[in-house]
Amino acid sequence: QHGRVKIKTTAQQEEEKRKEREKKLKIYVAARDACFSKRSEGVWDDEALQLTQQLLSSNPDFATLWNYRREILMHLETWSPLFWLTNNAELLFLESCLKVNPKSYGSWHHRGWVSARLPRPDWARELSLCDRCLSLDDRNFHCWDYRRMVVKISGVPVDQELAFTDRLIGSNFSNYSSWHYRSTLLPLLHPESPDAKLYSFLSEYELVQNAFFTDPNDQSAWFYYRWLLGRGTSVCNCVHVLKYFGPFLALTAAQICDLPPGTINDISNEHNLTVHWTEKHTHRDCALYTGRTESWCRDSATDQELFRSELSVEKTSVLQSELQSVNQLQELEPLNKWCLLTIILLMRALDPLGYEKETLAHFQTLKEVDSMRSAYYSDLCSKFMIENTILKMEYAEVRVFSISDKNLTTLCHLDQLLLVTHINLSSNQLQQLPPQFAMLQCLEVLEADNNSIENLEGVYHLPKLEEVLLKNNKISTLADLQPLASCPKLKRLDLRGNPVAQTPNVESELVELLPSVTDLLL
């Protein structure tokens, strides 16, 4: 055994580590308590500054100590007007803290505070620090936030920052932060020149296509691509005025407003009334003439106005060119989910009705290749099918909305159905009628047979509703039907095939709950 190094056992090593940790902890706790004691006594001296530095060097995420340190520094600068001119140690100390934790909230915040107090801050040095930190972790959002602050204060040109993101994206296409930063810089580059903006965006298409052709499965470039193609804005395109039981309602595509009591004292409806609706830059006037209980004014609706909410701002020629490019990639990557989803969105922007068949086929493929998000794709497909049905209804200028047997899993765009009197949602996969359903103040007939509806939360206070057909759903208790009690004109209710129909004494209880119903089917 002589001449051999004795190897410590695992138990011995762990015990030594434990003792070392306890020793460090005692030192740390003693320094912390000393700091707290000094602060409570109102002491802001060099010793307190050193204590905070000792503690923050090992734990830079102690927010209370950063606050105390700032109090000390502000006290010291009152005694020495040249304090910040001669004191560069604070920035060096902060760099050491960032080496311990590059994502320390307290360290980055304190550095910004110090830089703002320096009489002549070296912004080039701060940008260089950001460059070094981002080279180690290009998604360090603390550093990105600090860099944006430095850029704003120091007046770094937009094109220079754009070149910075070029460099980062060139070294790593999967850089979410750089793509996002570009989306904030591009609108600033040519704010007053549409032609220059178009030229700039065309070069962006080439950049982002290089990214997703290089790695089609990386989602960062695809998200930026969707932003690049544009964002539309919704506008108020309908005002509907309805009089019932005294009060007036002014309805738009998003709001229902009860006019305050006493606003209008025309119980007998003997006067012409006009509702003026102002929303941002949109103005609408709707007249309710003598003897009428409802009126509306509405713009002619097209797919561009109503539903091109994502890719609506680009020119059709650009969208068509992009669709061809993504289709080429799809031929190489037929099961790539990002490619399929982007094709769907481009088709929706170009011609939602003309591409309906291809869109449904792509959704089916998406559900197969990305089964974990199948429910999301079903909801998105439902949204698009509803949009198409509304467009067809608009072109026909009817007040009946029928979308049965389309595998709908959700309802949306109810704000576009304010004037509808008859809705047919039968044979879908709906589980509920959302609260927004209460906007449908003109609704008279609701057909929702053969779904999976469990309650009627949204069917509330519909003054014209007369008929509700809910055969073969999953309504199980009378409480689920309670909202119908607020519909005063309800005459017919079909609950056949629902669990509630098997409840003892259900008929007598329903008569008590819904006294206006004269045709009850169980």
* Per-residue pLDDT tens digits of the chain, which is 522 residues long: 455 555 656 877 787 788 888 888 888 898 899 999 999 999 988 899 999 999 999 999 999 999 999 999 888 888 776 666 556 788 999 999 999 999 999 999 999 999 988 888 899 999 999 999 999 998 899 999 999 999 999 999 999 999 999 999 988 888 889 999 998 888 888 776 555 455 566 778 888 888 989 889 999 999 888 888 775 444 445 555 555 444 444 444 444 455 555 555 555 555 555 666 565 555 666 565 565 655 555 554 444 455 554 554 456 788 888 899 999 999 999 999 999 999 999 998 888 899 999 999 999 999 999 999 999 999 999 999 999 998 888 665 678 999 999 999 999 989 888 889 999 999 999 999 999 899 898 899 999 999 999 999 889 899 999 999 999 999 999 999 999 999 999 999 999 999 999 989 999 999 999 999 999 998
Domain ends where: 284, 313, 341? Answer: 284
Distance set, CA 456 to CA 24, 36, 403, 449 (Å): 63, 58, 19, 13
Domain ends where: 125, 154, 183? Answer: 154
Contact 396, 426 (CB under 8 A): no
Contact 372, 386 (CB under 8 A): no
Distance set, CA 152 to CA 10, 161, 503 (Å): 54, 11, 68
Q: Is 209 within a domain? A: no
Q: Is 336 within a domain? A: no
Q: Is 374 within a domain? A: no
Strands 238-243 and 294-298: antiparallel
Total domain count for the chain? 3
Do 258 and 149 fall within a single domain?
Answer: no
Q: Is 379 within a domain? A: no
pLDDT at residue 228, rounded to an integer: 82
Do 118 and 243 fall within a single domain?
Answer: no
Q: Is 512 within a domain? A: yes
Do 243 and 122 fall within a single domain?
Answer: no
Q: Is 305 within a domain? A: no
User: Helices (H) and strands (E) in the chain — how many of each?
Assistant: 18, 12
pLDDT at residue 234, rounded to an integer: 46
CATH assignment of the domain containing 118: 1.25.40.120
pLDDT at residue 240, rounded to an integer: 52
pLDDT at residue 96, rounded to an integer: 93
Helices (H), 232-353: 303-307, 316-332, 337-350
CATH assignment of the domain containing 491: 3.80.10.10
Do 19 and 150 fall within a single domain?
Answer: yes
pLDDT at residue 18, rounded to an integer: 82
With tokens 């609950």, the residue in question is 495
The pTM score is: 0.73
Domain ends where: 284, 304, 320? Answer: 284
Q: Is 114 within a domain? A: yes
Q: Residue 271's domain spans which residues?
A: 238-284
What is the distance between the alpha carbons of residues 311 and 205, in angstroms, rounded to a whole number? 14
Contact 256, 238 (CB under 8 A): no
Query: How many CB atoms within 10 Å of residue 500?
Result: 20
